[in-house]
Structure 1
């Protein structure tokens, strides 16, 4: 693969150009830039009509040593240059599967969905596994995505993939199997109030003994809560649990 245009497929070709209001797009840029400043989130906006990046935040996590201006100039070429060659077919698969899934969602509900998946980026040869979430910002009247917001965070898995479609406000989601090429309905894990308390206090930096004292439980019980959290979130430690719970909106 050596052409960025392979990411742009008929399933999301933006045809109704007369509907596109780039004055409104400027408002999105201002809002997303404010979000980036306030939260230090690594975010960018894709323009599917111009086939480029409309905005890229200055957060260094996703930039691979480049300036935000340079990443914006590169657009989809950024993926070709900074994703391992062996994972580019995975990104194309995700692209096709994701847009095919959107075709089955009623147009009025499409802004309520987002896709999440993991892939590596390369920074001076060093591989970093990131989680990438994308949701529509603006649709044309026929339901095609014109602008999309992308959020990049650290991944909690050990490998690329983990392709999921989520409907905001629900605990159900769909997981894509790249072998069978099918989506399977699943349910998000649920943390009990006690598990949430342990995790929230862990975020604040308290030790297990201090957490036990604060919530009036034994240290052994707090340890059991932590272990249950690790199993539910499929993580190995507290740091991964915090990222996974945050990414999955469980707190």
Structure 2
């Protein structure tokens, strides 16, 4: 007797590179790690949910401290080497602390890789402002991805929300959902565009201290705020549709 294999559960502890894990499950897990799935449509986002979405207090500290270390050290020393190496040491220390406590280290390791890449570019070029090149490239690529997804009528926020709500591609047939999810995708495109508009001139001018400060301000705070707004938008259509479906079910 054959046994039909179960569909992978996004909460399954199996590693994401496990061939049993479907692409949809991988995308769901990645979205949850990014904080996108921490607030469910239909729920009113709370301060606690928002904090969880950005990784909790610990995740917040790990996100901000290395960048803050760069700004402080560079402002004091004007020396590229300690300015880029101290944030790297801090990031590695966070990973070691998580490993010792047997906590999840994948996201922290990704952060170390990003900081190491930025440090390497700055050290090889001898220019502190080149520490921000990877971040600028990521913002440009993210902006392009959002714009392309809107152009081909598959807005990325819609794809993510469809996966997280088990709506699949059903939102594309619902005009209200589609319009809101397109709007949300435009808002994320606006965030990436705003970062580039504010940071690229400072990068070209070589204003490293101000660039580093602006990157911190436009990083986690804006990300968290836009995450909140996105889910407020999403719940307007998902809660409304769920209520309408329930009403139809009661009258049928």
TM-score scaled by length of structure 1: 0.22
Higher helix share: 2
Greater RCO, 1 or 2 (C-alpha within 8 Å, sep 6+): 2
TM-score scaled by length of structure 2: 0.22
Higher strand share: 1
